[in-house]
Chains A and B, each alone.
Chain A
Amino acid sequence: MSEHLSVRLVKYLPAFTLDVAWTAGDGIAVLFGPSGAGKTLTLQCLAGLLRPDDGRIVVGERIFFDAEAGVDLSPQQRRIGYVFQGYALFPHLSVEANVGFGLRGRPAVDARRRVGEVLERLGLGALARRKPAEISGGQRQRVALGRALAIDPAFLLLDEPLSALDAPTRAALREELRGILAEWGIPAVLVTHDFAEAYRLGDRIVVYEHGRVIQSAPRSELLWQPASEVVARIMGIRNVLSGTVVKATADRIQIRWRGLLLEAVNSPTRSYLPPPESPIAFFIRPEYVRLIRKDRGAPDAAHHMNLMAGRVVAEADFGTVWTLRLRLDAPGPPAQGDFDLEVEVPRLVYEILEIERDRHWQLSVHRGSIHVLPA
């Protein structure tokens, strides 16, 4: 992936400072983070709708903004396709006129042909004369995309493109959006506070919090190893735990936690080598903790790594899965308030193992499922 977009921005607002730097290649970069983290502010700076106080924005070979050199292209000069939250379609204009809005200045014949082409490609041909109020939410999304794509933009900016839709439509339109972006092949920056959306749509994910970037990584790397405990928390990752390093090598890390010796795989892309006895954060995904069946003989250490034992102290039914909270037998205060580990089991497993009746279990976690979080 070539570096298509390079962004460094500082913007001071009365109660908030945006101070971010990241780069992105030709695919889709997702700005992910809680509301109020500065994601939309970043888009507005990229589009030239808001002037940063400092920094530099470069797209391909073009400098959009450079505080030091005094360069600041207007939104009109930048020619970026901006898909607004809620779409911002012109309510007094037809679908056709909305899509053609950015083509003023081209010869009328060209503009008409381009509009027809875009409407056709997005399956909007039959709606050309309708007003935005007369079409569905999904169709509006396509019109907004079409209006932005019609001008052959250097790249697209999409601000929470799915937030205006209700939940059932959302998943379907997420896939549709993915398809359209892939098909048109235009690099895009997309803002969302929904991790599933970020993960499904992003080639690169830039994690925002309080006006800062706390991680920027290709999607695969992000899930493999969030950069910090903060990222894990923002992403809604459970079982974020802290232990002590016993030994770290390029491919393994041994961790002491709750009187146990756990073994984790070190990151394949960038090994993390903390010295022995240093504190270390890690997380275990609840769906990757295995309960060991009692009808298959005693667990053996060769097959079941990272063995531990504990008792179910709380549980919750989520329909297709049960979430169990276990407290380990090891003495000492539990790691997460009144429990040590959250474990998720499919409903069928819960019923077959009769967990409702049988509360004491041995657990095992594969070393590949313990994710180390660099400090």
Chain B
Amino acid sequence: MSAEALSALGLSLRVALLATALNAIIGVPLAYLLARRRFPGRALVDLLVTLPLVLPPTVTGYYLIVLLGRRGWLGAPLYAATGWTIAFTWYAAVVAATIMALPLLVRTAHAAIQSVDRDLEKAAYTLGRPEWRTALEVTLPLARNGILAGLVLAFARALGEFGATLMLAGNIPGRTQTVPLAIYTAVQTGESGEVLALIAALTALSGAVLVVAGRLGARAA
């Protein structure tokens, strides 16, 4: 494998792992809130989280630029204050992958949490456990397989992310060029032989992920 391909593979793994970790940190509590709480704006949050699942990734990427780009709603003040922008850095690839993977995790975890018998939580409350402790000791352990399946799917999604990453992070070899981008570039320039190893690696990894997710899903049900 060429040095460029190896760096793409390394970056892709790093981005996907970080995006998965962020999914666990943001997505699991979000899934719990959506499954168990009624709060104003709940439907809107649900919609915003799910949208990247159905929008063309480039459209999601566009919104991310509007939000985080150098002239974006959040990006502009950040740039003014620090002179730094996330656009065209590998952090941008992490953000894009996180947002694109989030609906997969949240929907899977939401369903798993919802399937936990509410009487178990009520029992924990009457036995003196506050809600957050009950979530950690009862709800999430019982929804574990569903949540893990969701994380595995999120990892796979993050690994294969293309459109939104291209929009926000660009396609800079050695810096923001992930495996899907490297493959695209190679094929476009007629050098697809270079990336056959990458294609094989991505296919094998995604296949393995589906098998693992399927096993977890079967155990959860």
CB distance from B175 to the nearest CB of A (A): 45
Q: Kindly list chain A residues whose C-beta atoms are within 8 Å of the C-beta of B142.
A: 91-92
Chain B interface mostly = helix
- Indicate if the CB atoms of A84 and B128 lie closer than 8 Å: no
B130 partner, pick from A76, A78, A81, beta carbons under 8 A: A76
- Indicate if the CB atoms of A82 and B122 lie closer than 8 Å: yes
CB distance from B38 to the nearest CB of A (A): 13
B127 partner, pick from A44, A91, A92, A147, beta carbons under 8 A: A147
**Bound form: Cα–Cα A105–B130 in Å:** 12
Kindly identify, within residues 83 to 142 of chain B, every residue whose CB is under 8 Å from any CB belonging to chain A. Answer: 117, 119-120, 122-130, 138, 141-142
Q: What is the interface size of chain B, counting residues whose CB is below 8 A from a CB of the partner?
A: 15
**Bound form: Cα–Cα A253–B114 in Å:** 60
CB distance from A235 to the nearest CB of B (A): 29
- Indicate if the CB atoms of A88 and B128 lie closer than 8 Å: no
As a 0/1 sequence over residues 71 to 110 of chain A, the CB contacts with chain B under 8 angstroms (1 = contact) are 0001110111110111010111000000001101100000
**Bound form: Cα–Cα A90–B134 in Å:** 11
Closest partner residue, chain A, to B144 (CB atom): A92
- Indicate if the CB atoms of A88 and B127 lie closer than 8 Å: no
* Interface range, A side: 20 to 34
Q: Is A223 an interface residue (CB 8 A)?
A: no
Closest partner residue, chain B, to A144 (CB atom): B123
CB distance from B191 to the nearest CB of A (A): 53
Q: Is A375 an interface residue (CB 8 A)?
A: no
Closest partner residue, chain A, to B131 (CB atom): A76
Lowest 7 CB-CB distances: which A-B pairs, in order?
A102-B127, A88-B119, A75-B125, A82-B126, A88-B123, A84-B119, A75-B126
B residues at A contact (CB < 8 Å) = 117, 119-120, 122-130, 138, 141-142
Q: Can you report 16 residue pairs joining A to B where beta carbons are below 8 Å apart?
A: A48-B126, A75-B122, A75-B125, A76-B128, A82-B123, A82-B126, A85-B119, A88-B120, A88-B122, A90-B120, A91-B142, A101-B129, A102-B126, A147-B123, A147-B127, A151-B127
